[in-house]
Amino acid sequence: MNKHDAQIRINELVEELNFHSRKYYVEDSPEISDYEYDMKMRELKSLEAEYPELILAHSPTQRVGDVPLSEFTAVHHEVPLKSLQDVFSYSELEDFDRRVKKVQSDPEYVVELKIDGLSVAVEYKNGILVRGATRGNGIDGEDVTLNIKTIQSLPLKLAENVDITVRGEVFMPVSSFNKLNRQRQNDGESVFANPRNAAAGSLRQLDSSVTAKRNLDIFIFNIQKFDNGTFKTHSESLDYLKSLGFKVSPFYNKFHDIEKVFSEIERFDKIRNELGFDIDGAVVKVNDLSLREELGETVKFPRWAVAYKYPPEQKSTKLLDILINVGRTGVLTPNAVLEPITLSGTTVSRATLHNQNFIHQMDIRIKDTVIVQKAGEIIPEVVRVVPEKRSGNEIIFEMPLNCPVCGTAVITDQSGVAVRCPNRLCEAQIFRKIVHFVSKEAMDIEGLGPSIVQQLIDESLLKDVSDLYSLNAQKLMNLEGFAQVSANNIVEAIKKSKNAGLDRLIYALGIRNIGQKAAKLLAARFKNIDALMSASAEEIISIEDFGDISANSVVNYFSDENNLELINKLKEYDVCMQYNQKIDDLRFEGKIFVLSGGLDTMTRAQATQLIESFGGKTSSSVSAKTSYLLLGDKPGSKLEKATKLGVKIIDEQQFIEMIK
């Protein structure tokens, strides 16, 4: 085939394949078999390999980039991607309706699903996809074009050759999420907490080939910029987006009566488990675009829309058994074994029961019917018992007198709440301690997941965390499932962890009552492990935010001969025990931040790290010493206290401006 004929055939194949992709991924009405589609794709790839200069920008072969990125570049949103004000009750929706009616007496509302995903902006020039960017802080995001192109339902070329920027919500279907977590579990990797977290992690992969395997999807719900637009209503704009080839919300019905808006919200709630993707509410928008102009916007939110958030989904199920988990400090934690249920998009078969007091207070018995929900839409918890469903066969639970793993007689803490196995050689404790030591927040030894740690313990290669540093590639290659490359990677990760620094090491040691923040404060105060080991409780209490319990925990830890022996072993392996943090920019020196609610562009841990990198401190509670309350989504009681004390309240955008 000559070049001219190849050009014609490539054009034909690209148009055909994009058409059939839309039929399959957007309209759910395929017209050809998977085999026929694959044969056409194979032909296209063959022609493009022979004539690479003829590859079209909107060819389906261009959905995955060849070369991984080293970093994401910043993108400034010409039209800000604002968030919506959340409401949690119908009375709040009625307040919204009243405010709108002050401007127009009979407004029309569009009600759409509130997809639980990540907001993005996608830009097209002359009908061709040229850029995709994350929402970021609403003003500036990150360029994720290569990753956004891997989403099969997002057209690379529109039905019209227009310049348009649209906004959508990227999400991971529940089926893809379950498949991904099963795969990660089999590979010994940590599983994602929910589809939203999985989608976020997938969209921010530097290698688009990884993103492509995650089967992300997208709903487009707004036109951000379109010079040719002459729409009178939002619903008209959605119809137009649909005609361009976009996958839009499956529901965008119109209502004048706020009571009918309530009914639609309730309808969404009833069908949410049948959708195949997660929603966490419904979005109510004024339909008339001219009325939107009149209503205007605040600094943070538009006044013409609100997001109704559903309360945590609750379901009843049978509590089949109560099993005991032994943690790294020896604490025995009871866990409910549940008859599996689907809750907030995932299968739930376990829930923590905290401790014996919790079980007694709630009168939880084995074989009870219980109500379960996900705390923060992530962690399953038992909310209450349904006593009227008891048959008389229920079994009252008592904590065991001996450790279920090693058989040692358990002891009860002075608090009378925590039951503990005192045997430091208990295999369960050794396993948990090593898993904690290698975790990302501690020494960050990549590749050593729980299943590999257990394998190393079973093979007697690990008896405590210091044994990690005696591992070499040959020892690992003698184990099932290890090859030269994987063994070398783990050895390199272990070697790299030696320079993690004193603050990470303190946290990694698993000292009772010492978290990441406390570990950093100790490292900053004492600078090296020897000074810390000889510190008195009084010296430690002098550190701000330290009390008797945490100070005594540190002193007790370093008074134990076994722990001192472990430190000496780590020293012999040249593990860094110095604190070498240098802060050049001390703009937050002397400032104390308190964080409340979730943030959009970063985790709370990342925000804390940024504050500390500029010499500031964070605290868990608001007081007269607090300099700033950093307010995120769903703030708690801290806002009220900060207001009373006159503490300066900042939002995420203001915080970002402070650290630029």
Average pLDDT for runs of 10 along the chain of length 660: 84 84 69 77 84 82 70 87 88 95 95 93 95 87 91 93 95 90 74 81 86 92 88 95 93 94 94 87 95 87 92 89 92 94 80 90 96 76 94 94 96 82 93 94 91 92 95 91 90 94 94 88 92 94 85 94 95 92 78 85 80 85 90 75 88 84
Query: How far does CA 514 lie from the centroid of its chain?
Result: 24
Query: How far does CA 636 lie from the centroid of its chain?
Result: 20
Under DSSP, the state recorded for 24 is I
Cα end-to-end distance, the chain, whole Å: 56
pLDDT at 141: 87
User: Are 313 and 319 in contact, with CB atoms under 8 Å apart?
Assistant: no
pLDDT at 6: 82
Q: Tell me how far CA of residue 131 lies from CA of 17, 22, 75, 169, in angstroms.
A: 21, 20, 10, 15
pLDDT at 344: 67
Which of 134, 154, 127, 156 minimizes the C-alpha distance to 76? 134
Provide CATH code, domain 85-309.
3.30.470.30
Query: Tokens at residue 1, please?
Result: 């085939």
Q: Give the chain's radius of gyration (CA, Å).
A: 28
Active-site residue, 114 included: yes
**Alpha carbon distance 538, 542 (integer Å):** 6
Provide CATH code, domain 3-63.
1.10.287.610
**Alpha carbon distance 618, 206 (integer Å):** 31
pLDDT at 127: 93
Query: How far does CA 429 lie from the centroid of its chain?
Result: 28
User: Are 119 and 168 in contact, with CB atoms under 8 Å apart?
Assistant: yes
Identify the H or E element spanning 357: helix 356-362
Q: Where are the domains of the chain?
A: 3-63, 85-309, 314-419, 427-497, 502-572, 592-659
Query: Hey, what CATH topology would domain 314-419 get?
Result: OB fold (Dihydrolipoamide Acetyltransferase, E2P) (2.40.50)
Domains 427-497 and 502-572 are alike in CATH topology: yes
Spot the catalytic one: 40, 114, 285, 374. 114
Under DSSP, the state recorded for 138 is S
Which architecture does CATH list for 502-572? Orthogonal Bundle (1.10)
Which architecture does CATH list for 427-497? Orthogonal Bundle (1.10)
Predicted TM-score (pTM) of the model is 0.57
Contact residues for 603 (Cβ-Cβ < 8 A; gap 6+)? none
Positive or negative: CA dihedral 510, 514, 520, 521: negative
pLDDT at 567: 96
pLDDT at 632: 80
Provide CATH code, domain 592-659.
3.40.50.10190
**pLDDT, tens only, 386-415:** 999 999 999 999 999 999 999 999 999 876
pLDDT at 39: 80
